[in-house]
Amino acid sequence: MDFGGPQLVLGLTWYAAFLFSTVLHEAAHAWSAYRLGDPTAYHGGQVTLNPLPHIRREPFGLVLVPILTFALSGWMMGWASAPYDPYWAVRHPRRAAWMSLAGPAANLLLVIGAGLALRAGLAAGIFGLPTRISFSQLVSASGGTVGVATLLSILFTLNLLLFAFNLLPLPPLDGSGALPLFMSERMALRYRVFLAQPMLALIGLLIAWQLIGPVFGPLHALALRLLYPGL
């Protein structure tokens, strides 16, 4: 991939959107856990939007992998994590479930915020309807607004993808951690113990990777219809 000029700017825009979205997701987990009685992530410095504590915890997932995936495919993939006390999660499975939902909720708020900003730009005439839609281009723009349009487009689609992927009810994803909300206390306790098996995470990720395409496609189409009502 050519990294001269426009492609370098696109890569930096992608990284800014990816880093902010991922850090906000993990900070939401950390903040909600702290509010619900588990200060582990708080003491680890993860209750912050400062990316440095998160990068120190996951340098591979927040720096190396995003750069490599963009260089190879033109979009970014990576991960981060916030520590929590597993014994707290076993003792309070419903609290842990709400903590699991906090990350995807943060991504959904970014989707809504970016969507409202795009709609406002269209209404004000700052942005226009695009000739084609891509991950990085949901509106057309010119001059000094191109960078803003690209950043908002990436934030919208990337966070929609993060929201959908993390809500898949498979370990180790957040959707799996939220399932105790629909269980009895006794069943939720057994479920949290069951999730501690290490092989479940690998199996869950392999299945989730196969499911996200069929799930995200219709969701993305619905989001675009909401973004462009009547089009």
- Write the single-letter amino acid at 178: A
Dig out the tokens for 117 from the structure: 């900003």
Q: How far apart are CA 166 and CA 205, in angstroms?
A: 10
The neighbouring-strand residues paired with 128 are 140
The neighbouring-strand residues paired with 140 are 128
Backbone φ and ψ for 108, nearest 5 degrees, come out as -65, -40
Note the residue count of the chain.
Answer: 231
Q: How far apart are CA 142 and CA 145, in angstroms?
A: 6
CA separation, residue 4 to residues 11, 12, 69, 177 (Å): 10, 12, 17, 43
Q: Is 58 a catalytic residue?
A: no
Which residue in 11, 26, 57, 170 is the catalytic one?
A: 26
Active site residues: 26
